[in-house]
A = this chain, B = another copy of it.
Amino acid sequence: MRGADIRNGETAETVGALATPALLLDSDRLDRNLARLSSRMQARGVVLRPHMKTAKSIDVARRAHRSGAGPITVSTLAEAEYFARHGFRDMTYAVGLAPHTAERAMRLRRAGIDLKVLLDSPEQATMLGATGRAAGVTPSAFIEIDCDGHRGGLTAADPKLGMVAAILAEAGVKLAGILTHAGESYSLCTPEALIAAAENERAVAVAAAEVLRAAGHECPVVSVGSTPTAHFAKDLTGVTEVRTGVYMFFDLVMHGVGVCTTDDIAISVLATVIGTKPEKGWILVDAGWMALSRDRGTAAQRVDQGYGLVCDLSGKIYPDLIVVQASQEHGILAIRPRSAEALPDLSIGAKVRILPNHACATASQHELYNVVSGGSEMIQARWRRMRGW
């Protein structure tokens, strides 16, 4: 078994013997999910730059880049530092820049890490130039483009786009390219809508790059990405790279969007039955929001999965059994409203596996992945996660 266990005295060799709650990762599903998108992007001649915000694990990153330390995306500078310590060099920090993150990013750049940063305003461009000069390095920055009103970024038509590029050039900052994220695709649920969102993401990104090129700026990278659009894009003409994170593990939200089946979901939370309330149709387990997260992402979807969908120890779904309520260390399992299914007979000490709404949020509640594969009960490895900022 690889990796050290950090649970007090834990030496479990099998899933059934694990202290609960515990996070399981099915490495067969992980590998299948990685291969699926990787070959899709390869077929289109586009670089896949996995977003490590979901997994936050060097072991998973190495699984995504089997031949070496390929390009990755990170959501915090603590991630960048962590992956740099483990040999990764080509990274994009895909969160808008502030003065203190600019300084910290330049320290990494000075250490030889090709860390690219993100900005969308003249103020940030000026600040980054000054920070780079003070650190004695040439920064490399993406300009963030807003393709669907989700969050930050400039539209392709915004006159500030050319202004920011000009300031970067003036300030001695390398323009890495443009970067956009179709965050609104998470709220869709039909192939037609997802195909349209992907085409919009592509078209906006390419248009923004063309604006910059027409103004004389080299704009080598056109970076797009969200798990739904990456899986539904019909055409990626003009796009050079795609960033996605949750595709590695998938989750019930992605299932509701229509990107995966429940059999693709690679992580689950192992829990133990600690009580029953037959008169209410309830089974109580020791996985509450601390183990599952407070994410209720499926609440707005066609099928509300509560705090998760319940499976037996082998991973087989109990029809319509969901976590209907969660307090800190308690989950309440019940049959979904208006279902005719019967509550399974689970008594004190029985183990279940819970598929999460949102893999990024659920995984972040845990210190490590207990890795399983091949349908075996044996724990193959324990992979640690990093956390913090």
Contact = CB atoms under 8 A, between A and B. Distances in A.
Interface of A: 6-8, 19-22, 53, 75-76, 78, 81, 95-101, 104, 120-121, 123-124, 127, 149, 151-152, 183, 272-277, 280, 284, 286, 289-291, 293-296, 325, 327-330, 332, 347-349, 358, 360-361, 364-367, 387-389
A367 B290 CA distance: 15
Contacts of A123: 347-348
A274 B121 CA distance: 10
Nearest to A21: B389
20 contacts: A7-B389, A8-B81, A19-B100, A20-B389, A95-B329, A98-B272, A98-B273, A98-B286, A98-B348, A99-B349, A100-B272, A101-B286, A127-B348, A151-B284, A152-B275, A152-B284, A152-B330, A289-B295, A289-B361, A290-B364
Contacts of A358: 294
Contacts of A349: 98-100, 127
Contact of A53 (B20, B100, B329): B329
Classify the secondary structure of A's interface with B.
Answer: loop
B19 A389 contact: yes
- 3 closest A-B pairs (Cβ-Cβ)? A96-B274, A294-B294, A152-B275
A129 to B, nearest CB: 14
Contacts of A365: 364
B95 A286 contact: yes
A346 B150 CA distance: 20
Contact of A294 (B7, B121, B296): B296
B327 A151 contact: yes
A363 to B, nearest CB: 11
Contact of A8 (B75, B78, B101): B78
Given A19-B100, A98-B348, 8 more contacts: A6-B388, A7-B389, A21-B389, A97-B274, A123-B348, A127-B349, A289-B361, A291-B389
B276 A75 contact: no
| Residue of A294, A349, A389 with most chain B CB atoms under a 10 A cut-off | A389
B152 A96 contact: no
Contact of A293 (B19, B21, B294): B294
Nearest to A107: B9
Contacts of A294: 293-296, 358, 361
Given A8-B81, A120-B275, A332 B367 contact: no
A100 B20 contact: yes
